[in-house]
Amino acid sequence: MSSVVSAFNLSLSYNNSENDIIQNATFDIKKGEFVFITGLSGSGKSTLLKALYGELIPKEGELVVGGLNLNSIEKKKLQELRRHLGIIFQDYKLINEWSVEKNVVLPLIIDGYSKDIQKTQSTRLLKHVKLSEYAEKLPLELSGGEQQRVGVARALSKNPFLILADEPTGNLDEYSSNVIWDLMETSCEQLQTTVIVVTHKIPTIFSIPYRHLIIENREVYEIH
Amino acid sequence: MKFIKNHLTFIFPLMAILIGIEFFLVFERTTISYEDGLRDKYSMLVVVHDEIDLESIQNLNPHIFSIDLIKKDAIVDEISKGLKESSKKNLSKLLPYFYNVKLDTYFDIKQIDKIKADLEKSPIVKSVETFDNSHDSNYKLFIFLKFIFKIFISFIAVVSFFLIIKQMEIWSLVHKQRMKVMEIFGAPLLLRSAVMYRIAIVDSIISTIIISLFFVHLKYNWVDSSGIDILVHNRDLIFEFNDLFKMLGISLLIVISSVSMVISRLKDDN
């Protein structure tokens, strides 16, 4: 199977400082794989995720996502890559002035899809995340769990080849957490979407096979 | 309420600039009208040995607009009271030719002296009388007022421009979260900042319409009731339909450049 993410001797640091957050990481993630990245707080999990969507340029080594080398990627190419990613944040990162419906189809708006397609997709996805009745509401009128479900719906709206999730269920109630894990499992299993989830704790009930990478002392290991 | 406040804090400085621009246009038209009046009233007296035509005098200086021969008879009648008819005829033959010369625009003393010097270089010109002092003091006062007014308008424009930039920065903070999220999802800069451009353009159109309506009101309603003769006589100079497009063009230029400045600063920050 083809590689979706490939890191070789990857080192990451902020502002090119001496203090590496990740050092010499080498790993390879294939299409359709579900990968958990765990580690202690401050171990560099979110930093690694930022590098995966091009928010942080690698200091050393090589990082390839979707066939594009992120060490020297052009701005336009990076924008194009991001349009094919589904990103989920712990703090949801929804646009508070926009309705739930509009937030869900943000990736379609960016890609210039017609209003009809946007409407069809938002209706389908909101039904999927069990938020159909909240379509017209603003994000701040929703609970944390509901906002995160909107975030997941947004991440899925364009059938991305790669979903990156940063602590997607941190601080969420059990019901919302289960809905979110279920959606990601389904997406991985049925659509062969690669899913990388950064979390401090792997859910106890998880029905599909997954890989587990752990960050410890700035290095990335795989647990078999 | 906050939405309206955000718009007004942008519209007000823009309106200040547009009022300044419109006053400038009105003043410019008044100046041109005044200068035309001065030019029409002003003439030089050129004394020549032989009769000349317009073309030959224009060869001496291109700013000569028209010439008008002063009939010798009138001059002879004036200076030959009590003389015999034959003496009058001799006097008439001896007299040079006098021309009233009008210029194509109104010039200051320095420029008039230059024209005078050009004319006097020619051997056919006997002398040139410029009568320059009578208009010059009024004209200088007028130019001075125009200069002060331009300085004032420029000052208002600069202050207002900075207010607009400040307001844009506030907007950029308001929209920062949205722009950041859109950036993460791969939106190009133009799409991320489209809302700011749209609001700015709408506000510039609103400002232009408000100022145009204000000046139309001045022109057609207020001027008559003001009882100020000079305004009533120069009503046409107060607002022209073209001014609307000039103001719209300038305000669009201002808002688009100020949004672009703020956006490029945001881009650099990222």
User: Complex ipTM, two decimals?
Assistant: 0.88
Contact A110 B187 (CB under 8 A): yes
Beta bridge partners of A164: A87, A196
Residue of A15, A65, A74, A79 for testing the chain B interface, max B β-carbons within 10 Å: A79
C-alpha distance from A78 to closest chain B C-alpha (Å): 7
Mark whether B141 and B252 lie in a shared domain: yes
Q: Do B184 and A94 touch (CB under 8 A)?
A: no
Q: Inter-chain contact B178–A95, Cβ cutoff 8 Å?
A: yes
Kindly give, in sequence order, each residue whose CB lies less than 8 Å from that of residue A122, ignoring residues fewer than 6 positions away: A101, A102, A104, A105, A135, A153, A157
Considering the domain architecture, whether residues B32 and B141 belong to the same structural domain is answered as yes
What is the reported pLDDT for B132? 61
Is residue B30 domain-shared with residue B51, that is, in the same domain? no
Asked if the Cβ–Cβ distance from A82 to B186 is below 8 Å, we say: yes
**Region of residue B106 (left: phi > 0; alpha: psi -120 to 50; beta: else):** beta
Answer whether A80 sits within 8 Å of B188, measured CB to CB: no
Query: Backbone phi, then psi, for B62, in 5-degree steps?
Result: -70, -10
Size of interface A-B (CB pairs under 8 A): 39
CA distance A159 to A85: 8
Cβ–Cβ gap B185/A110 under 8 Å: yes
CB B71 within 8 A of CB B97: no
Distance from CA of B204 to the nearest CA of A (A): 23
Please check whether residues B29 and B83 belong to one and the same domain: no
H-assigned helices in A136-211:
144-156, 174-191
Number of domains in chain B: 2
CB contact under 8 A, A55 and B184: yes
- Greater pLDDT, B210 or B72: B210
Shortest distance, CA A224 to any CA of chain B (angstroms):
32
Residues B51 and B24 in one domain: no
What average pLDDT is seen over chain B? Answer: 83
- Provide the pLDDT confidence category of residue B136 given band limits of 50, 70 and 90: low
CB contact under 8 A, A110 and B186: yes
Closest-approach residue (CA) in chain A for B181: A93
**Whole-structure pTM value:** 0.69
Q: One digit per residue, pLDDT tens: chain A, 224 residues?
A: 688 999 999 999 998 788 889 999 999 999 999 999 999 988 899 999 999 999 999 999 999 999 999 998 999 999 999 999 999 998 999 999 899 999 999 999 999 999 999 999 999 999 988 899 999 999 999 999 899 999 999 999 988 999 999 998 887 888 888 888 888 888 888 888 999 999 988 887 778 889 999 999 999 999 87
Name which residue leads in pLDDT, B75 or B122. B122
Residues of chain A contacting B188 with CB distance shorter than 8 Å: 76, 79
Shared domain check, B253 and B148: yes
Q: Whats the size of chain A, residue-wise?
A: 224
Could you give the count of Cα atoms lying within 13 Å of B99 in the half-sphere of its Cβ?
Answer: 24
Q: Do A106 and B177 touch (CB under 8 A)?
A: no
pLDDT in tens, B76-129: 777 777 777 777 777 777 788 889 888 888 777 788 888 888 888 888 888 888
Q: Which of B81, B111, B130 is the last residue of a domain?
A: B130
Strands B44-48 and A85-88, how do they pair? unpaired
Burial, B210: exposed, middle or buried (Cβ in 10 Å; 0-12, 13-18, 19+)? middle
Q: Which among A155, A167, A222 is positioned nearest to A194, based on CA atoms? A: A155
Rg (CA), chain A: 17
Residue B71 is given by DSSP the state: P
Higher pLDDT, B14 or B107: B14
- Does residue B122 sit in the same domain as residue B68? yes
Contact between chains at B181 and A53 (C-beta distance less than 8 A): no
* More confidently predicted of B206 and A175: B206
Domain check: are B11 and B48 in the same one? no
Find the domain containing B110 and state its range. 43-130
**Cβ neighbour number for residue B149 with a 10 Å cutoff:** 16
Q: Which of B130, B157, B187 is the last residue of a domain?
A: B130
Work out the minimum CA distance from A202 to partner chain B, whole angstroms. 26
Q: Which residues of A touch B (CB under 8 A)?
A: 53, 55, 76, 78-83, 85, 87, 93-98, 106-107, 110
Please tell me the predicted confidence (pLDDT) of residue A10. 94
The H or E element spanning position A164 is: strand A162-166
Helix (H, G, I), strand (E, B) or coil at A31: coil
Residue A1's pLDDT is 65
- Considering the domain architecture, whether residues B88 and B113 belong to the same structural domain is answered as yes
CA distance linking residue A62 with residue A75, whole number of Å: 18
Residue B270 has pLDDT above 60, yes or no: no
- Between CA B92 and CA B76 the distance in angstroms is 6
Query: Which secondary structure element, helix H or strand E, spans residue A150, and what is its range?
Result: helix A144-156
DSSP 3-state of B224: helix
Instruction: Work out the minimum CA distance from B174 to partner chain A, whole angstroms.
Output: 10
Q: Round to whole Å and give the CA distance between A113 and A41.
A: 39
- Min Cα–Cα distance to chain B from A110, Å: 6
**Which residues from chain B sit within 8 angstroms of residue A91, using beta carbons?**
none
Distance, CA of B228 to chain centre: 22
Give the nearest partner residue to A106 out of B180, B185, B188, using CB atoms: B185
Show me where the domains of chain A are located: 95-159
Tell me whether residues B178 and A97 touch, CB distance under 8 A.
Answer: yes
Statement to judge: residues B196 and B150 lie in one domain: yes
Sign of CA dihedral B169, B171, B173, B176: negative
Q: Are residues B147 and B14 in the same domain?
A: yes
> How far apart are the CA of A80 and the nearest CA of chain B, in angstroms?
6
- Set of chain A residues whose Cβ sits within 8 Å of the Cβ of B181: 93-95, 106
| Residues B157, B251 within the same domain | yes
Domain end point (choices B100, B130, B160) = B130
Question: Of the candidates B175, B191, B198, which has an alpha carbon nearest to the alpha carbon of residue A108?
Answer: B191
Contact A184, A151 (CB under 8 A): no
Other residues' Cβ atoms within 10 Å of the Cβ of residue B3: 8
Nearest to A169 by CA among A186, A151, A187, A154: A151
